[in-house]
Amino acid sequence: MNEKEMLDKEDIFSKVLRAGRRTYFFDVRATKADDYYITITESKKFTEEDGSYHFKKHKIYLYKEDFAAFQEILEEMTSFVVDHKGEEVISERHQKDFKKEVYENETTETVSTSSFTDISFDDI
């Protein structure tokens, strides 16, 4: 069997989920014994200051004997998060804006104008 046939045999079914800087790849693959398993790959894009970029990838291999337990725990975990925090997404940008507001409010509350000296540019 040539390399192309091996690759065709290995990749059975695929789906892609694009989520901002992250992309998730879900692939059904075949073992040498022609049994199926799933790989889940997270690919995250990192941009450098010079404009170049690279990707970091993490992969999970999920075999049939673990499907039921994995699905049960994933459902339990996602339900827990939604039940306790709702479906609204609190983004990093929102957190940065919130911290900035708190900082600005703290500085305006703690700075006293009586500690400043009035000077004129003519004095310089």
The edge-to-edge listing of strands for the beta sheet with 53-63 is 11-19, 22-30, 36-47, 53-63
pLDDT single digits (tens) 85-97: 998 887 766 555 5
Kind and range of the H or E element at 12? strand 11-19
pLDDT single digits (tens) 3-14: 555 555 567 999
Provide the residue-wise pLDDT of the chain in tens; the chain has 124 residues: 555 555 555 679 999 999 988 999 999 999 989 999 999 999 998 888 888 888 899 999 999 999 999 999 999 999 999 999 998 887 766 555 555 555 555 554 444 445 455 555 555 4
Distances from the Cα of 121 to the Cα of 50, 73, 124, angstroms = 42, 69, 5
What domains are there in the chain, each with its CATH number? 3-69 (3.10.450.700)
